[in-house]
A and B are shown apart, each in its own frame.
Chain A
Amino acid sequence: MIKFAILRNYILLILLLVGKQLLSQACCSGGTPLNAAMGMNFLTKGTVLTSLSYNYNLLNDQFQGSEQIEDESRKRVSQSILLKGIWALSDKWSIGATLPYEFRMEEKSIETENLPELSSNGIGDFFVQTQLTILASNTHNFLVATGFKIPTGSNTETNDLGIELPPDLQPGTGSWDIALGANYQLSNIFGGNFNYNLSGTARFNSTAKRFNDEQTYKFGNEFMIITGFAADLLTGSGIFIPSLYLQYRRTYLDLTNGKLTPNTGGDWVNLIPGIAYDFNTKLQLLASASIPIYRYLEGLQLTTTYSFFVQVQYKFLNDSNELQGF
């Protein structure tokens, strides 16, 4: 039972770490930040985990370096719906895939209401991944993951005048990208109900072509570390899992035609409180928010004010797993 709680914790975390970040590219470098929602599921051979999640990202802050510019006139909203599935081939190996649907919009003010729309929506980039559990014990657990993003989303969406939108307003990136991730978990600390997580991911982007191949564009590579605690609080009918995580994220400057693109790239530190509830061994609801506490952005950029993430998750168990509860 303890093993369940330990391993489902980091498997879901890595799903989120690797999968979600790849699916939602940077939006003014702010992007859709990671939501460290702490669903906890351990997948033994034959188990299939599915989830449907929604992410809302409001970008209403502007920064030059670490200085916030006193202007709230610009507002951009980025939303994603993610359909995910992961299948445990064995107790060690899992494969998964995620299909996103993206909505992106920059709001217009009264003084720009007659100007062309800056919004798009559509299927985003498909993401596939593999995970390998290297270490699994009652206290120490370690997992690595690799993912590939396939450019199924459009990166040529136009506004109502037929003018192509900028890359950070497109549902897709047009590039094949690779992600690497690792997650370490220390379990049963502080009296047994707390778990400590430390995860790192790296995303390496390739170059996409735009404007009939007249321009190349590459989103900056991204590195991220997330660390924090989650607790298992047993209730009469299920388990509450509150969590608090600290995330550091660095995105390097984008490249246009191989040259650094002004006003892209930066560093973020976010606080991510979350809560999950396991109704039973199969069904879980989780929610988290991402609150920036430090931002340093290259040039002048619009960036995330806050974001939140909700997810419903269902696990199809094979016969042997059906017998194992909390």
Chain B
Amino acid sequence: MNFRVFSIAALIFISISCRKKLQEVEEIVLTGSSITILNDLLNDEPIVVAGSGGLDLMLSFGRQLDDGTILEFELSENNLPILFTDQELNEWNLFGVCVSGQRLGEQLPMINATMGYYFAFEAFYPGVEIYLGSDVNAPPNPSGNEQWLIDPDHVYVASGFNAIKSVDNPQFLIYKERDYLNTSFYVSDNDRVLIVKVGEEIRAYPHNILNWHEIVNDQIADVNIAVNFCPLTGTGYCWDRENSTYGVSGMLYNNNLILYDRDTQSLWSQIIGQSVFGQQIETYVSKISVFETSFQTAKAMFGALKIMTEDTGWNQDYLENPYEQYLAAHDFILFPTTYQDDRLPTKKRVFGVEIDGKCRIYQLEDF
């Protein structure tokens, strides 16, 4: 009897201790890293860029709302995932949703922004602006032809169709730190994840799975999405795939993933977000808010995180990174690009924001 009481007391004590320890870790992660908010203009559009090198996190939204109001943001006093406070004292989270104040429930305008390697942004947007950096004059990219929206001379076949297999039936688990305190997990703290929110559901897609598959055709609530990641350019997006699914064509433009849709077999450029060949040519994709951060930051922000599992339908080893050598060779890119300069190191990981063809790069260390 005494032993049973003692056991229960011990379990309660351990549980409280673990929870307290986890809370401390989360607070250290979230409060120990400063976040910088930058109210900026790009192509005459007001945008806000939020970043934290410590949290490995960069985000951007438009600042002009449908009613014409231009918001000025500063860092919220609350912890993440609440991020901004505006001049009207509304609070906005890192998905750009107003969580308190008179604009409760409103969504900030989404803009085309992603983390990625410098060479990709300079290739897609020659002469790309570098925030606090130097400018350069660069010729525009060569145009396409009757069949291609992009210059086919810079389209390369890297592998066969579906040589890289999309995941079409992803599985998820709710990650709870306490379940893995004494065992390893297939995603480590420093690994990066793409975070997608649709409705109230937040899901994390680990890079170490995306490295092998590049596309995850998923569904959240009633929304069909395609999370896509290009390991060669380091860029990740989430598209509304409507009723189709996407596959990996094996082709690259400026070393960046070209997807194909299985409905029309049109080809789509990931960074441009537009069909560049086939029946759907010139059609733009509808993008869904996504951002990239470390697994550690994601755990700290969201607590019990819903994360994609290794149960992808393919019996692959996700602890191995097939691009380890590629990433280690800092100045190495696989295929020729339309344009390249040396203002920043080739594979420097930066945050690119694009509006109507004009792109600006922000560097983590400036935040």
Q: A residues bordering B, Cβ < 8 Å?
A: 64-65, 67, 69-71, 73-74, 76, 106, 108-109, 111-115, 118, 159, 161-166, 169, 211, 214-215, 253, 256-257, 259-263, 299-300, 302
B157, B264, B323, B332: the one contacting A163 at CB < 8 Å is B157
- Expressed in whole angstroms, the minimum distance between the Cβ of A210 and any Cβ of chain B is 9
In Å, the complex CA distance between A256 and B331 comes to: 12
> Nearest residue in A to B247 (C-beta to C-beta)?
A111
B155, B158, B314: the one contacting A70 at CB < 8 Å is B314
Contact B163 A262 (CB under 8 A): no
In Å, the complex CA distance between A71 and B329 comes to: 31
Apart from the given pairs A112-B161, A259-B326, 13 other A-B contacts in the complex at a CB distance below 8 Å = A109-B162, A112-B265, A114-B265, A115-B161, A118-B157, A118-B160, A118-B161, A163-B152, A163-B157, A164-B156, A165-B157, A256-B334, A259-B332
Contact A74 B316 (CB under 8 A): no
B156, B163, B260, B323: the one contacting A302 at CB < 8 Å is B163
The interface residues of chain A lying within 8 Å CB-to-CB of B334 are 256-257, 261
In Å, the complex CA distance between A120 and B159 comes to: 14
Contact A74 B160 (CB under 8 A): yes
- Expressed in whole angstroms, the minimum distance between the Cβ of B44 and any Cβ of chain A is 36
The interface residues of chain B lying within 8 Å CB-to-CB of A302 are 160, 163
In Å, the complex CA distance between A251 and B336 comes to: 26
Contact B157 A115 (CB under 8 A): no
- Expressed in whole angstroms, the minimum distance between the Cβ of A156 and any Cβ of chain B is 12
B164, B265, B315, B325: the one contacting A259 at CB < 8 Å is B325
Contact B265 A113 (CB under 8 A): yes
B278 within 8 A of A: yes
Residues of chain B in range 135-176 having any CB-CB distance to chain A below 8 Å:
147-148, 152, 155-165
Contacts A214-B336, A215-B335 hold; do A67 and B315 have CB atoms under 8 A apart? yes
The interface residues of chain B lying within 8 Å CB-to-CB of A253 are 325
Contacts A67-B317, A106-B161 hold; do A115 and B156 have CB atoms under 8 A apart? no
Contact A163 B278 (CB under 8 A): no
In Å, the complex CA distance between A215 and B162 comes to: 24
Contact A108 B316 (CB under 8 A): no
The interface residues of chain B lying within 8 Å CB-to-CB of A165 are 157
B71 within 8 A of A: no
A113, A161, A261: the one contacting B147 at CB < 8 Å is A161
B133 within 8 A of A: no
Contacts A115-B249, A163-B251, A165-B157 hold; do A263 and B336 have CB atoms under 8 A apart? no
Nearest first, the 3 closest Cβ-Cβ pairs linking A and B are A214-B336, A114-B265, A112-B161
In Å, the complex CA distance between A162 and B277 comes to: 13
Main secondary structure of the interface of B (DSSP, over half): loop
In Å, the complex CA distance between A261 and B334 comes to: 8
B262 within 8 A of A: yes
The interface residues of chain B lying within 8 Å CB-to-CB of A299 are 322
The interface residues of chain A lying within 8 Å CB-to-CB of B160 are 74, 76, 106, 118, 302
Please tell me the size bucket of the interface on B.
Answer: 35 or more
Give me 11 A-to-B residue pairs in the complex whose CB atoms sit less than 8 angstroms apart, sorted by A's number.
A67-B317, A70-B315, A161-B277, A165-B157, A253-B325, A257-B332, A257-B334, A260-B325, A262-B326, A263-B159, A300-B316
A164, A214, A260: the one contacting B157 at CB < 8 Å is A164
In Å, the complex CA distance between A214 and B334 comes to: 10
The interface residues of chain A lying within 8 Å CB-to-CB of B84 are none
In Å, the complex CA distance between A256 and B314 comes to: 28
The interface residues of chain A lying within 8 Å CB-to-CB of B148 are 161
B117 within 8 A of A: no
In Å, the complex CA distance between A159 and B249 comes to: 14
- Expressed in whole angstroms, the minimum distance between the Cβ of A110 and any Cβ of chain B is 9
Contact A69 B315 (CB under 8 A): yes
The interface residues of chain B lying within 8 Å CB-to-CB of A263 are 159, 322
In Å, the complex CA distance between A214 and B267 comes to: 25
> Nearest residue in B to A166 (C-beta to C-beta)?
B157
Contact B161 A300 (CB under 8 A): no
Residues of chain B in range 210-234 having any CB-CB distance to chain A below 8 Å:
212
- Expressed in whole angstroms, the minimum distance between the Cβ of A11 and any Cβ of chain B is 38
The interface residues of chain A lying within 8 Å CB-to-CB of B332 are 256-257, 259
- Expressed in whole angstroms, the minimum distance between the Cβ of B169 and any Cβ of chain A is 14
Contact B325 A74 (CB under 8 A): no
Contact A115 B265 (CB under 8 A): yes
Contact A65 B317 (CB under 8 A): yes
Contacts A115-B265, A262-B326 hold; do A108 and B161 have CB atoms under 8 A apart? yes
The interface residues of chain B lying within 8 Å CB-to-CB of A159 are 157
The interface residues of chain A lying within 8 Å CB-to-CB of B161 are 74, 106, 108-109, 112, 115, 118
B191 within 8 A of A: no
B320 within 8 A of A: yes
> By CB atoms of chain A within 10 A, which of B161, B317, B326 has the most?
B161
- Expressed in whole angstroms, the minimum distance between the Cβ of B78 and any Cβ of chain A is 43
- Expressed in whole angstroms, the minimum distance between the Cβ of A163 and any Cβ of chain B is 5
The interface residues of chain B lying within 8 Å CB-to-CB of A70 are 314-315
Contacts A159-B157, A262-B322, A263-B322 hold; do A71 and B165 have CB atoms under 8 A apart? yes
- Expressed in whole angstroms, the minimum distance between the Cβ of B210 and any Cβ of chain A is 14
Contact A74 B152 (CB under 8 A): no
The interface residues of chain A lying within 8 Å CB-to-CB of B264 are 114
In Å, the complex CA distance between A113 and B277 comes to: 15
Residues of chain B in range 248-304 having any CB-CB distance to chain A below 8 Å:
249, 251, 260, 262, 264-265, 267, 277-278
The interface residues of chain A lying within 8 Å CB-to-CB of B265 are 111-115
The interface residues of chain A lying within 8 Å CB-to-CB of B326 are 259-260, 262
- Expressed in whole angstroms, the minimum distance between the Cβ of B207 and any Cβ of chain A is 15
Contact B335 A69 (CB under 8 A): no
Contact A69 B316 (CB under 8 A): yes
In Å, the complex CA distance between A304 and B251 comes to: 23
